[in-house]
Amino acid sequence: MSQSGVLDAVAGVLARAQRILFVTGAGISVDSGLPTYRGIGGLYHDRLTSEGLSIEEALSGAMMDSRPDIAWRYIAEIEASCRGAGPNAAHRIIAALEQEKAMVCVLTQNVDGLHRAAGSHNVIEIHGTVHRLQCMDCHHGRKVLDYDGLQIPPECPQCGGIMRPEVVLFGEALPTRALERLEAVLAEGVDVVLSVGTSSVFPYIAGPVVWAAQCGIPTVEINPGDTPVSALVDHRLRMCAAEALPELWRRMRPRDPAED
């Protein structure tokens, strides 16, 4: 089937669906000017940090405990790459779908906050967000717009301890509440699962797509490259998210909200 034919087929699935799960990764934010962290052009693709560490070592929970200055250095680099970025057409269209469907949920790996900035409310940030900090000692929390002017690592204003972003670092457990929310969404049922801009290397990210395929629920992948779920999905669009979602929206209706 041609790419245009796949777009028509996916648009038909979305038009009929009332309960939609989007699973998103760094690729959805590329057109907002953010780098991906894996794959071609990735921020840490095939290179070590200046300390000679893999990014998995530098951005691990163990490093945050033993050398928070190193972990914070690369967290701050990720935040700097997000700073000033705004939602793109893909984020806005997902938010628009939430307004007209019975249920639209976004399970995202991204810590950039762009889904919420676009207006999505039903967002499961499985890796947390760089915009919330918590003290490692007294657990005092605070929200931050960005890290500009922030002491690195920042001190807790309550106890003087070290604060860290509420993000899941390598080697750390996923947040229980986020996993429970995902389980509830799947238990209540979905009409289609779309994997958008993610390499699907983590089992908990590929899992909803695999589950849907096994249950006979329509599945879609939007990604220029190959991933572990590419051979499983019903419909595959080799396109970037900010190109594919406006095309799908136009096929569902004549006007694109991203152009308002």
pLDDT tens-digit readout, 97-139: 999 999 999 999 998 889 999 999 999 999 998 889 999 999 9
Among residues 91, 127, 131, 235, the one annotated as catalytic is 127
User: For position 52, what pLDDT does the model report?
Assistant: 83
More confident residue, 235 or 253: 235
Expressed in angstroms, the distance from the first to the final Cα of the chain is: 32
User: For position 47, what pLDDT does the model report?
Assistant: 67
More confident residue, 2 or 88: 88
Same fold for the domain at 3-34+87-127+173-259 and the one at 39-84+129-167? no
Domain boundaries, the chain: 3-34+87-127+173-259, 39-84+129-167
User: For position 223, what pLDDT does the model report?
Assistant: 96
Q: pLDDT digits over 194-238, tens only?
A: 999 999 999 999 999 999 999 999 999 999 999 999 999 999 999
Mean pLDDT (the chain) is 90
pTM, full prediction = 0.88
Looking at domain 3-34+87-127+173-259, its CATH class is alpha beta
| 3-class SS of residue 8 | helix
CATH fold of 39-84+129-167 reads SIR2/SIRT2 'Small Domain' (3.30.1600)
Which tokens belong to 146?
A: 């960005």
Find out whether 22 and 190 touch, Cβ atoms under 8 Å.
Answer: no
Find out whether 220 and 201 touch, Cβ atoms under 8 Å.
Answer: no
Mean pLDDT along residues 13-36: 90
User: For position 41, what pLDDT does the model report?
Assistant: 38
Mean pLDDT along residues 28-51: 66
127 catalytic? Reply is yes
User: For position 48, what pLDDT does the model report?
Assistant: 72
- Bridge partners of 163, per DSSP, are 135
Find out whether 72 and 150 touch, Cβ atoms under 8 Å.
Answer: no
